[in-house]
Amino acid sequence: MINLYYIRAAIEANTGIRLSLSEVRTYLVEEGLITQRQADEEARTFTGYGDMYTFDDASRVTEDFDQNMGLPDSYVS
């Protein structure tokens, strides 16, 4: 995946010009740095993490566990 945000930040840091993400993608293709296929498939604008996960559930499994698990049996003074 091509990180357009990172590339835009680098351009802005070096030129002082803030481009839109679509402009960054267009310039990358025009300059031959990426192909049109890469622009279409790998340089998409971030729309959230939903594309990366099949569910949207922030819950977690809670289990009872021993509070002393992993602690030494005796302490050295």
Count the domains in the chain. Answer: 1
* Residue at 13 is within a domain: yes
* Residue at 53 is within a domain: no
pTM: 0.59
- pLDDT above 70 covers a percentage of the chain that reads 75
Which pLDDT score, from 0 to 100, does residue 51 have?
65
pLDDT band at 12 (very low <50, low <70, confident <90, very high): very high
Tell me the pLDDT tens digit for each residue of 15-41.
999 999 999 999 999 999 999 999 999
Domain that holds residue 36: 4-44
Position 16, amino acid: G
Q: Is the pLDDT of residue 5 over 80?
A: yes
CA–CA distances in Å: residue 2 to residues 32, 37, 49, 50, 63: 14, 12, 15, 18, 39
